[in-house]
Chains A and B, each alone.
Chain A
Protein backbone atom coordinates (compact mmCIF):
# COMPACT_ATOMS: atom_id res chain seq x y z
CA UNK A 1 0.00 0.00 0.00
CA UNK A 2 1.28 3.49 -0.75
CA UNK A 3 2.35 5.46 2.30
CA UNK A 4 0.62 8.73 1.48
CA UNK A 5 -2.90 9.43 0.26
CA UNK A 6 -1.77 12.19 -2.11
CA UNK A 7 0.83 11.75 -4.84
CA UNK A 8 1.58 14.88 -6.96
CA UNK A 9 2.06 12.60 -9.97
CA UNK A 10 -1.61 11.57 -9.72
CA UNK A 11 -2.72 15.03 -10.84
CA UNK A 12 -1.41 14.25 -14.32
CA UNK A 13 -3.58 11.12 -14.35
CA UNK A 14 -6.82 13.02 -13.74
CA UNK A 15 -7.93 12.43 -17.33
CA UNK A 16 -7.82 8.67 -16.73
CA UNK A 17 -10.99 9.00 -14.64
CA UNK A 18 -12.86 8.73 -17.95
CA UNK A 19 -11.46 5.25 -18.56
CA UNK A 20 -13.90 3.68 -16.10
CA UNK A 21 -16.89 5.71 -17.24
CA UNK A 22 -16.24 7.37 -20.54
CA UNK A 23 -19.59 9.05 -20.94
CA UNK A 24 -19.69 10.80 -17.59
CA UNK A 25 -15.93 11.50 -17.63
CA UNK A 26 -16.13 13.10 -21.05
CA UNK A 27 -19.14 15.15 -20.06
CA UNK A 28 -17.38 16.32 -16.91
CA UNK A 29 -14.23 17.43 -18.70
CA UNK A 30 -16.24 19.19 -21.41
CA UNK A 31 -18.14 21.02 -18.70
CA UNK A 32 -14.93 21.79 -16.80
CA UNK A 33 -13.26 23.23 -19.89
CA UNK A 34 -16.30 25.33 -20.73
CA UNK A 35 -16.56 26.71 -17.20
CA UNK A 36 -13.04 28.12 -17.38
CA UNK A 37 -13.48 29.82 -20.75
CA UNK A 38 -13.76 33.59 -20.78
CA UNK A 39 -17.36 34.69 -20.31
CA UNK A 40 -18.84 37.38 -18.10
CA UNK A 41 -15.74 36.73 -15.99
CA UNK A 42 -12.22 36.66 -17.42
CA UNK A 43 -10.15 33.47 -17.34
CA UNK A 44 -7.87 35.29 -14.92
CA UNK A 45 -10.72 36.01 -12.50
CA UNK A 46 -11.88 32.41 -12.74
CA UNK A 47 -8.38 31.20 -11.97
CA UNK A 48 -8.32 33.27 -8.76
CA UNK A 49 -11.75 31.95 -7.74
CA UNK A 50 -10.52 28.40 -8.39
CA UNK A 51 -7.44 29.04 -6.24
CA UNK A 52 -9.54 30.34 -3.37
CA UNK A 53 -11.99 27.44 -3.59
CA UNK A 54 -9.07 24.98 -3.78
CA UNK A 55 -7.96 26.17 -0.36
CA UNK A 56 -11.47 26.08 1.06
CA UNK A 57 -11.90 22.47 0.03
CA UNK A 58 -8.24 21.80 0.91
CA UNK A 59 -7.50 19.96 -2.31
CA UNK A 60 -3.70 19.61 -2.76
CA UNK A 61 -4.06 18.80 -6.46
CA UNK A 62 -6.16 21.90 -7.04
CA UNK A 63 -3.81 24.12 -5.03
CA UNK A 64 -0.85 22.95 -7.12
CA UNK A 65 -2.77 23.32 -10.34
CA UNK A 66 -4.21 26.78 -9.72
CA UNK A 67 -1.06 28.23 -8.17
CA UNK A 68 0.77 27.23 -11.36
CA UNK A 69 -2.10 28.46 -13.50
CA UNK A 70 -2.08 31.80 -11.70
CA UNK A 71 1.66 32.25 -12.21
CA UNK A 72 1.26 31.51 -15.91
CA UNK A 73 -1.41 34.18 -16.13
CA UNK A 74 0.79 36.78 -14.43
CA UNK A 75 -1.27 36.76 -11.24
CA UNK A 76 0.86 38.16 -8.43
CA UNK A 77 1.42 36.54 -5.06
CA UNK A 78 -0.33 39.54 -3.47
CA UNK A 79 -3.45 38.84 -5.54
CA UNK A 80 -3.28 35.13 -4.70
CA UNK A 81 -2.99 35.80 -0.97
CA UNK A 82 -5.88 38.27 -1.03
CA UNK A 83 -8.03 35.67 -2.75
CA UNK A 84 -7.11 33.17 -0.03
CA UNK A 85 -8.11 35.61 2.67
CA UNK A 86 -11.51 35.94 1.02
CA UNK A 87 -11.82 32.15 1.23
CA UNK A 88 -10.56 32.14 4.82
CA UNK A 89 -12.94 34.95 5.81
CA UNK A 90 -15.93 33.12 4.38
CA UNK A 91 -14.82 29.85 5.94
CA UNK A 92 -14.17 31.49 9.32
CA UNK A 93 -17.34 33.51 9.02
CA UNK A 94 -19.30 30.37 8.28
CA UNK A 95 -18.20 28.98 11.65
CA UNK A 96 -18.77 32.18 13.49
CA UNK A 97 -22.19 32.91 12.07
CA UNK A 98 -23.39 29.68 13.68
CA UNK A 99 -22.68 31.45 16.92
CA UNK A 100 -26.05 33.08 16.45
CA UNK A 101 -27.61 29.63 16.72
CA UNK A 102 -25.62 29.05 19.89
CA UNK A 103 -26.70 32.39 21.30
CA UNK A 104 -30.35 31.69 20.43
CA UNK A 105 -30.13 28.33 22.21
CA UNK A 106 -28.43 29.78 25.27
CA UNK A 107 -30.93 32.64 25.44
CA UNK A 108 -33.77 30.15 25.22
CA UNK A 109 -32.49 27.73 27.86
CA UNK A 110 -30.57 29.91 30.21
CA UNK A 111 -32.36 31.66 33.04
Chain B
Protein backbone atom coordinates (compact mmCIF):
# COMPACT_ATOMS: atom_id res chain seq x y z
CA UNK B 1 0.00 0.00 0.00
CA UNK B 2 1.29 3.46 -0.84
CA UNK B 3 2.04 5.85 2.01
CA UNK B 4 0.54 9.26 2.66
CA UNK B 5 2.27 12.34 1.26
CA UNK B 6 3.10 13.25 4.85
CA UNK B 7 4.79 9.93 5.54
CA UNK B 8 6.68 10.18 2.24
CA UNK B 9 7.83 13.63 3.35
CA UNK B 10 6.51 15.09 0.11
CA UNK B 11 6.49 18.88 0.02
CA UNK B 12 2.91 18.60 -1.23
CA UNK B 13 1.93 17.31 2.20
CA UNK B 14 2.08 20.92 3.28
CA UNK B 15 -0.85 23.22 2.62
CA UNK B 16 1.42 26.18 1.90
CA UNK B 17 3.11 24.39 -1.00
CA UNK B 18 -0.26 23.42 -2.46
CA UNK B 19 -1.53 26.98 -2.19
CA UNK B 20 1.67 28.26 -3.80
CA UNK B 21 1.07 26.02 -6.81
CA UNK B 22 -2.58 27.04 -7.03
CA UNK B 23 -1.77 30.73 -6.78
CA UNK B 24 1.21 30.93 -9.13
CA UNK B 25 1.99 29.59 -12.62
CA UNK B 26 -0.93 29.89 -15.01
CA UNK B 27 -2.91 31.97 -12.51
CA UNK B 28 -0.07 34.34 -11.64
CA UNK B 29 0.77 34.88 -15.31
CA UNK B 30 -2.85 35.71 -16.06
CA UNK B 31 -3.35 32.80 -18.46
CA UNK B 32 -6.33 31.82 -16.36
CA UNK B 33 -8.41 34.07 -14.09
CA UNK B 34 -8.23 33.47 -10.36
CA UNK B 35 -11.41 32.16 -8.79
CA UNK B 36 -11.93 35.49 -7.07
CA UNK B 37 -11.67 37.34 -10.40
CA UNK B 38 -13.96 34.85 -12.11
CA UNK B 39 -16.81 35.10 -9.61
CA UNK B 40 -16.35 38.86 -9.47
CA UNK B 41 -17.35 38.96 -13.16
CA UNK B 42 -20.85 37.90 -12.08
CA UNK B 43 -20.82 40.00 -8.89
CA UNK B 44 -20.67 36.89 -6.71
CA UNK B 45 -17.58 37.89 -4.73
CA UNK B 46 -17.34 37.72 -1.79
CA UNK B 47 -19.22 34.49 -1.32
CA UNK B 48 -21.26 34.70 1.86
CA UNK B 49 -22.21 31.95 4.29
CA UNK B 50 -25.95 31.45 4.47
CA UNK B 51 -27.90 29.83 7.27
CA UNK B 52 -26.12 26.66 8.41
CA UNK B 53 -27.67 23.48 7.04
CA UNK B 54 -24.87 20.93 7.21
CA UNK B 55 -22.42 20.41 10.03
CA UNK B 56 -19.59 18.23 8.77
CA UNK B 57 -17.21 16.79 11.33
CA UNK B 58 -13.94 15.16 10.36
CA UNK B 59 -13.17 12.75 13.20
CA UNK B 60 -9.67 11.90 11.98
CA UNK B 61 -7.38 11.35 9.05
CA UNK B 62 -6.62 7.70 9.82
CA UNK B 63 -7.93 5.33 7.17
CA UNK B 64 -7.48 1.67 6.23
CA UNK B 65 -7.03 2.73 2.59
CA UNK B 66 -4.67 5.07 0.78
CA UNK B 67 -6.65 6.18 -2.27
CA UNK B 68 -4.68 7.80 -5.04
CA UNK B 69 -7.01 10.82 -5.29
CA UNK B 70 -7.61 11.44 -1.56
CA UNK B 71 -7.89 15.15 -0.73
CA UNK B 72 -7.36 14.38 2.97
CA UNK B 73 -4.09 12.49 2.41
CA UNK B 74 -5.70 9.90 4.66
CA UNK B 75 -3.91 6.63 5.27
CA UNK B 76 -3.20 4.00 7.96
CA UNK B 77 -0.09 6.04 8.78
CA UNK B 78 -2.04 9.19 9.72
CA UNK B 79 -2.41 9.61 13.47
CA UNK B 80 -4.65 12.69 13.68
CA UNK B 81 -7.74 11.53 15.55
CA UNK B 82 -10.48 13.56 17.23
CA UNK B 83 -10.30 13.24 21.02
CA UNK B 84 -13.28 12.52 23.25
CA UNK B 85 -12.96 16.04 24.70
CA UNK B 86 -13.34 17.61 21.26
CA UNK B 87 -16.24 15.26 20.56
CA UNK B 88 -17.91 16.47 23.74
CA UNK B 89 -17.54 20.04 22.48
CA UNK B 90 -19.03 18.97 19.15
CA UNK B 91 -21.95 17.30 20.93
CA UNK B 92 -22.82 20.56 22.67
CA UNK B 93 -23.04 22.18 19.24
CA UNK B 94 -24.96 19.26 17.71
CA UNK B 95 -27.61 19.52 20.46
CA UNK B 96 -28.20 23.20 19.73
CA UNK B 97 -27.57 23.62 16.04
CA UNK B 98 -30.21 24.62 13.51
CA UNK B 99 -28.51 22.43 10.89
CA UNK B 100 -30.67 19.66 9.42
CA UNK B 101 -27.71 17.45 8.50
CA UNK B 102 -24.86 16.05 10.53
CA UNK B 103 -22.11 14.59 8.36
CA UNK B 104 -19.30 12.50 9.87
CA UNK B 105 -16.25 11.99 7.71
CA UNK B 106 -12.56 11.08 7.89
CA UNK B 107 -10.30 9.13 7.01
CA UNK B 108 -12.38 6.18 7.98
CA UNK B 109 -14.50 7.66 10.77
CA UNK B 110 -15.16 4.18 12.17
CA UNK B 111 -11.45 3.88 13.09
CA UNK B 112 -11.77 6.60 15.72
CA UNK B 113 -11.90 4.67 19.02
CA UNK B 114 -14.75 6.87 20.27
CA UNK B 115 -16.76 6.59 17.06
CA UNK B 116 -19.58 4.38 18.35
CA UNK B 117 -20.00 6.37 21.52
CA UNK B 118 -20.06 9.58 19.50
CA UNK B 119 -22.69 8.26 17.05
CA UNK B 120 -24.75 6.99 19.97
CA UNK B 121 -24.71 10.39 21.66
CA UNK B 122 -25.10 12.46 18.48
CA UNK B 123 -28.08 10.42 17.29
CA UNK B 124 -29.99 11.49 20.43
CA UNK B 125 -29.98 15.11 19.20
CA UNK B 126 -32.64 14.20 16.65
CA UNK B 127 -30.96 15.78 13.64
CA UNK B 128 -32.99 14.99 10.54
CA UNK B 129 -30.24 13.51 8.40
CA UNK B 130 -27.29 11.83 10.13
CA UNK B 131 -24.65 10.87 7.56
CA UNK B 132 -21.62 8.67 8.08
CA UNK B 133 -19.18 8.58 5.17
CA UNK B 134 -18.00 4.99 5.17
CA UNK B 135 -15.39 3.74 2.75
CA UNK B 136 -17.11 0.30 2.79
CA UNK B 137 -13.92 -1.76 3.10
CA UNK B 138 -13.65 -0.89 6.79
CA UNK B 139 -16.76 -3.04 7.35
CA UNK B 140 -14.90 -6.11 6.12
CA UNK B 141 -11.41 -5.12 7.28
CA UNK B 142 -11.63 -6.64 10.74
CA UNK B 143 -14.10 -8.78 12.66
CA UNK B 144 -14.74 -5.93 15.10
CA UNK B 145 -16.28 -3.89 12.28
CA UNK B 146 -18.51 -6.63 10.82
CA UNK B 147 -21.54 -5.48 12.83
CA UNK B 148 -21.33 -1.88 11.52
CA UNK B 149 -24.35 -2.30 9.18
CA UNK B 150 -26.46 -3.33 12.17
CA UNK B 151 -24.99 -0.50 14.26
CA UNK B 152 -25.76 2.04 11.53
CA UNK B 153 -29.31 0.68 11.26
CA UNK B 154 -29.89 0.93 15.00
CA UNK B 155 -28.93 4.60 14.90
CA UNK B 156 -30.80 5.37 11.67
CA UNK B 157 -27.56 6.52 10.07
CA UNK B 158 -27.54 7.55 6.42
CA UNK B 159 -24.58 5.74 4.85
CA UNK B 160 -22.69 7.49 2.06
CA UNK B 161 -19.92 5.44 0.48
CA UNK B 162 -17.32 5.89 -2.22
CA UNK B 163 -17.45 3.74 -5.33
CA UNK B 164 -15.51 5.09 -8.31
CA UNK B 165 -16.77 2.50 -10.79
CA UNK B 166 -18.73 -0.70 -11.24
CA UNK B 167 -15.66 -2.52 -12.53
CA UNK B 168 -12.82 -3.96 -10.50
CA UNK B 169 -10.05 -2.47 -12.64
CA UNK B 170 -11.05 1.17 -12.32
CA UNK B 171 -11.99 0.86 -8.64
CA UNK B 172 -8.81 -0.87 -7.52
CA UNK B 173 -6.64 1.50 -9.54
CA UNK B 174 -7.99 4.46 -7.60
CA UNK B 175 -8.60 2.92 -4.19
CA UNK B 176 -6.12 0.04 -3.93
CA UNK B 177 -5.91 -3.67 -4.70
CA UNK B 178 -8.82 -5.70 -3.41
CA UNK B 179 -11.00 -2.66 -2.65
CA UNK B 180 -13.61 -3.54 -5.28
CA UNK B 181 -14.27 -7.05 -3.95
CA UNK B 182 -14.28 -5.86 -0.34
CA UNK B 183 -16.64 -2.99 -1.24
CA UNK B 184 -19.08 -5.39 -2.92
CA UNK B 185 -19.03 -7.61 0.13
CA UNK B 186 -19.73 -4.63 2.39
CA UNK B 187 -22.53 -3.39 0.12
CA UNK B 188 -24.14 -6.84 0.31
CA UNK B 189 -23.90 -6.72 4.11
CA UNK B 190 -25.57 -3.30 4.08
CA UNK B 191 -28.28 -4.53 1.69
CA UNK B 192 -28.86 -7.55 3.94
CA UNK B 193 -29.93 -5.32 6.85
CA UNK B 194 -32.08 -3.19 4.54
CA UNK B 195 -29.71 -0.41 3.44
CA UNK B 196 -30.20 0.82 -0.11
CA UNK B 197 -33.13 -1.46 -0.84
CA UNK B 198 -35.98 -0.04 -2.92
CA UNK B 199 -38.52 1.71 -0.64
CA UNK B 200 -36.25 1.27 2.39
CA UNK B 201 -35.82 4.22 4.74
CA UNK B 202 -32.27 3.09 5.44
CA UNK B 203 -30.47 5.37 3.02
CA UNK B 204 -27.41 4.12 1.17
CA UNK B 205 -25.91 6.51 -1.37
CA UNK B 206 -22.73 6.12 -3.39
CA UNK B 207 -20.14 8.72 -4.26
CA UNK B 208 -18.44 8.65 -7.64
CA UNK B 209 -15.11 10.40 -8.24
CA UNK B 210 -13.46 10.19 -11.67
CA UNK B 211 -10.47 7.86 -11.68
CA UNK B 212 -8.21 10.25 -13.55
CA UNK B 213 -7.67 13.77 -14.84
CA UNK B 214 -11.16 14.31 -16.20
CA UNK B 215 -14.43 15.70 -14.93
CA UNK B 216 -17.43 13.59 -13.90
CA UNK B 217 -20.18 12.97 -16.41
CA UNK B 218 -23.87 13.63 -15.96
CA UNK B 219 -24.88 12.48 -12.46
CA UNK B 220 -28.25 11.05 -13.48
CA UNK B 221 -26.83 9.11 -16.42
CA UNK B 222 -23.99 7.77 -14.24
CA UNK B 223 -26.47 6.72 -11.57
CA UNK B 224 -28.48 4.80 -14.15
CA UNK B 225 -25.35 3.00 -15.38
CA UNK B 226 -24.15 2.26 -11.84
CA UNK B 227 -27.56 0.91 -10.79
CA UNK B 228 -27.86 -1.35 -13.79
CA UNK B 229 -24.32 -2.71 -13.55
CA UNK B 230 -24.32 -3.26 -9.78
CA UNK B 231 -27.74 -4.93 -9.85
CA UNK B 232 -27.24 -7.05 -12.98
CA UNK B 233 -23.71 -8.15 -12.19
CA UNK B 234 -23.73 -8.35 -8.39
CA UNK B 235 -27.32 -8.07 -7.15
CA UNK B 236 -26.53 -4.87 -5.24
CA UNK B 237 -28.98 -2.06 -4.53
CA UNK B 238 -28.36 1.56 -3.55
CA UNK B 239 -30.38 4.76 -3.61
CA UNK B 240 -28.57 7.76 -5.14
CA UNK B 241 -25.25 8.39 -6.79
CA UNK B 242 -23.40 11.64 -6.09
CA UNK B 243 -20.95 12.58 -8.86
CA UNK B 244 -18.08 14.58 -7.37
CA UNK B 245 -15.29 16.45 -9.09
CA UNK B 246 -11.77 15.80 -7.85
CA UNK B 247 -10.36 19.02 -6.46
CA UNK B 248 -6.72 19.83 -7.33
CA UNK B 249 -5.33 19.47 -3.83
CA UNK B 250 -3.27 16.97 -1.83
CA UNK B 251 -2.82 13.54 -3.44
CA UNK B 252 -4.90 14.40 -6.51
CA UNK B 253 -2.75 17.49 -7.05
CA UNK B 254 0.32 15.29 -6.65
CA UNK B 255 -1.08 12.95 -9.30
CA UNK B 256 -1.91 15.83 -11.65
CA UNK B 257 1.61 17.22 -11.44
CA UNK B 258 3.34 13.84 -11.72
CA UNK B 259 1.26 12.89 -14.76
CA UNK B 260 1.75 16.34 -16.35
CA UNK B 261 -1.99 16.92 -16.34
CA UNK B 262 -2.13 19.84 -13.90
CA UNK B 263 -2.44 22.71 -16.37
CA UNK B 264 -4.86 20.91 -18.69
CA UNK B 265 -7.01 19.96 -15.70
CA UNK B 266 -7.12 23.54 -14.43
CA UNK B 267 -8.04 24.73 -17.92
CA UNK B 268 -10.83 22.12 -18.00
CA UNK B 269 -12.14 23.30 -14.62
CA UNK B 270 -12.07 26.97 -15.61
CA UNK B 271 -13.68 26.28 -19.00
CA UNK B 272 -16.44 24.33 -17.29
CA UNK B 273 -17.06 27.15 -14.79
CA UNK B 274 -20.79 27.51 -14.25
CA UNK B 275 -21.87 30.77 -12.58
CA UNK B 276 -25.18 29.15 -11.65
CA UNK B 277 -23.35 26.64 -9.49
CA UNK B 278 -21.66 29.37 -7.44
CA UNK B 279 -24.68 30.39 -5.40
CA UNK B 280 -25.24 26.80 -4.26
CA UNK B 281 -21.72 25.67 -3.48
CA UNK B 282 -21.62 23.71 -0.26
CA UNK B 283 -19.40 26.13 1.65
CA UNK B 284 -22.32 28.55 1.75
CA UNK B 285 -24.45 26.25 3.90
CA UNK B 286 -21.86 23.96 5.47
CA UNK B 287 -19.37 24.20 8.27
CA UNK B 288 -16.43 21.81 8.49
CA UNK B 289 -14.92 20.87 11.84
CA UNK B 290 -11.41 19.39 11.90
CA UNK B 291 -10.20 16.55 14.13
CA UNK B 292 -8.80 19.12 16.57
CA UNK B 293 -11.94 21.26 16.62
CA UNK B 294 -11.05 24.11 14.26
CA UNK B 295 -13.65 25.48 11.87
CA UNK B 296 -13.45 25.73 8.09
CA UNK B 297 -15.81 26.64 5.27
CA UNK B 298 -15.42 23.13 3.79
CA UNK B 299 -13.38 19.95 4.07
CA UNK B 300 -11.10 21.13 1.24
CA UNK B 301 -10.30 24.41 3.00
CA UNK B 302 -9.59 22.34 6.08
CA UNK B 303 -6.94 20.38 4.20
CA UNK B 304 -5.48 23.61 2.81
CA UNK B 305 -5.42 25.05 6.34
CA UNK B 306 -7.62 27.99 5.33
CA UNK B 307 -9.67 28.64 8.49
CA UNK B 308 -13.02 30.46 8.56
CA UNK B 309 -12.76 34.20 8.19
CA UNK B 310 -14.53 34.88 11.48
CA UNK B 311 -13.85 35.73 15.10
CA UNK B 312 -15.16 32.26 15.95
CA UNK B 313 -12.37 29.85 15.07
CA UNK B 314 -12.93 26.76 17.23
CA UNK B 315 -15.84 24.49 18.09
CA UNK B 316 -15.40 25.45 21.78
CA UNK B 317 -16.39 29.03 20.94
CA UNK B 318 -19.10 28.08 18.44
CA UNK B 319 -21.74 30.67 17.66
CA UNK B 320 -24.02 30.00 14.71
CA UNK B 321 -25.27 33.58 14.48
CA UNK B 322 -21.76 35.02 14.37
CA UNK B 323 -20.68 32.55 11.71
CA UNK B 324 -23.63 33.28 9.46
CA UNK B 325 -22.88 35.85 6.79
CA UNK B 326 -19.11 35.39 7.01
CA UNK B 327 -17.03 35.79 3.85
CA UNK B 328 -16.08 32.39 2.44
CA UNK B 329 -12.35 31.86 1.94
CA UNK B 330 -11.63 30.98 -1.69
CA UNK B 331 -8.70 29.95 -3.86
CA UNK B 332 -8.28 28.29 -7.24
CA UNK B 333 -9.28 24.82 -5.93
CA UNK B 334 -12.83 26.24 -5.67
CA UNK B 335 -13.16 25.87 -9.44
CA UNK B 336 -13.66 22.17 -8.68
CA UNK B 337 -17.01 22.92 -7.03
CA UNK B 338 -18.29 25.20 -9.79
CA UNK B 339 -17.43 23.13 -12.88
CA UNK B 340 -20.32 21.89 -15.00
CA UNK B 341 -23.24 20.95 -12.81
CA UNK B 342 -21.19 21.85 -9.74
CA UNK B 343 -19.92 19.50 -7.07
CA UNK B 344 -20.47 19.08 -3.36
CA UNK B 345 -20.47 16.31 -0.77
CA UNK B 346 -24.15 15.91 -1.73
CA UNK B 347 -23.39 15.70 -5.45
CA UNK B 348 -24.23 18.24 -8.14
CA UNK B 349 -25.58 21.66 -7.15
CA UNK B 350 -26.79 23.25 -10.41
Q: Which residues of chain A have a CB within 8 Å of any CB of chain B?
A: 12, 38, 42-44, 68, 71-74, 76
Q: Can you list 14 A-B pairs with a CB-CB distance of less than 8 A?
A: A12-B271, A43-B218, A71-B210, A71-B214, A72-B214, A73-B221, A73-B222, A73-B225, A74-B165, A74-B166, A74-B222, A74-B226, A76-B165, A76-B169
Query: Are the C-beta atoms of A44 and B225 separated by less than 8 Å?
Result: yes
A-chain residues with CB within 8 Å of residue B167 when the two chains form the complex: 76
Query: Are the C-beta atoms of A72 and B271 separated by less than 8 Å?
Result: no
Of residues 193 through 241 on chain B, the ones whose CB sits less than 8 Å from some CB of chain A are 208, 210, 212, 214-218, 221-222, 225-226
Known pairs A38-B221, A68-B214 / 17 extra A-B pairs, C-beta < 8 Å: A43-B218, A43-B221, A44-B221, A71-B210, A72-B210, A72-B214, A72-B215, A73-B218, A73-B221, A73-B225, A74-B165, A74-B166, A74-B208, A74-B217, A74-B226, A76-B167, A76-B169
A-chain residues with CB within 8 Å of residue B170 when the two chains form the complex: 76
A-chain residues with CB within 8 Å of residue B212 when the two chains form the complex: 71
> What distance in Å separates the Cβ of B259 from its nearest Cβ neighbour in chain A?
14
Which of B215, B216, B217 has most chain A Cβ within 10 Å? B217
Which of B165, B170, B216, B221 has most chain A Cβ within 10 Å? B221
B-chain residues with CB within 8 Å of residue A44 when the two chains form the complex: 221, 225
> What distance in Å separates the Cβ of B240 from its nearest Cβ neighbour in chain A?
16
Cα(A68)–Cα(B261), bound, Å: 13
Cα(A63)–Cα(B277), bound, Å: 29
Q: How many A-B residue pairs have CB under 8 A?
A: 32
At the interface, is chain A mostly helix, strand, loop or mixed?
helix
> What distance in Å separates the Cβ of A30 from its nearest Cβ neighbour in chain B?
20
A-chain residues with CB within 8 Å of residue B217 when the two chains form the complex: 72-74
Query: Are the C-beta atoms of B225 and A74 separated by less than 8 Å?
Result: yes
> What distance in Å separates the Cβ of A52 from its nearest Cβ neighbour in chain B?
19
> What distance in Å separates the Cβ of B91 from its nearest Cβ neighbour in chain A?
40
Q: What are the interface flags for B112-123 relative to A under an 8 Å C-beta threshold, 1 for contact and 0 otherwise?
A: 000000000000
B-chain residues with CB within 8 Å of residue A42 when the two chains form the complex: 221
Cα(A68)–Cα(B226), bound, Å: 19
A-chain residues with CB within 8 Å of residue B169 when the two chains form the complex: 76
B-chain residues with CB within 8 Å of residue A43 when the two chains form the complex: 218, 221
B-chain residues with CB within 8 Å of residue A38 when the two chains form the complex: 221
Cα(A107)–Cα(B247), bound, Å: 66
B-chain residues with CB within 8 Å of residue A73 when the two chains form the complex: 217-218, 221-222, 225
> What distance in Å separates the Cβ of A97 from its nearest Cβ neighbour in chain B?
35
> What distance in Å separates the Cβ of A60 from its nearest Cβ neighbour in chain B?
16
B-chain residues with CB within 8 Å of residue A71 when the two chains form the complex: 210, 212, 214
A67: nearest chain-B partner, CB-CB = B214
A79: nearest chain-B partner, CB-CB = B167
A-chain residues with CB within 8 Å of residue B214 when the two chains form the complex: 68, 71-72
Cα(A45)–Cα(B11), bound, Å: 43
Cα(A59)–Cα(B281), bound, Å: 38
Cα(A73)–Cα(B218), bound, Å: 7
A-chain residues with CB within 8 Å of residue B210 when the two chains form the complex: 71-72
> What distance in Å separates the Cβ of B232 from its nearest Cβ neighbour in chain A?
15
Cα(A89)–Cα(B221), bound, Å: 30
Of residues 241 through 278 on chain B, the ones whose CB sits less than 8 Å from some CB of chain A are 271
Cα(A74)–Cα(B171), bound, Å: 11
A47: nearest chain-B partner, CB-CB = B217
B-chain residues with CB within 8 Å of residue A74 when the two chains form the complex: 165-166, 208, 217, 222, 225-226
Of residues 162 through 198 on chain B, the ones whose CB sits less than 8 Å from some CB of chain A are 165-167, 169-170
A77: nearest chain-B partner, CB-CB = B169
A-chain residues with CB within 8 Å of residue B218 when the two chains form the complex: 43, 73
A68: nearest chain-B partner, CB-CB = B214
Which of A12, A43, A72, A76 has most chain B Cβ within 10 Å? A72
> What distance in Å separates the Cβ of A70 from its nearest Cβ neighbour in chain B?
9
> What distance in Å separates the Cβ of A27 from its nearest Cβ neighbour in chain B?
24
Cβ-closest 5 pairs across A and B: A72-B217, A73-B217, A71-B214, A72-B214, A76-B167
B214: nearest chain-A partner, CB-CB = A71
Cα(A74)–Cα(B222), bound, Å: 7
A-chain residues with CB within 8 Å of residue B165 when the two chains form the complex: 74, 76
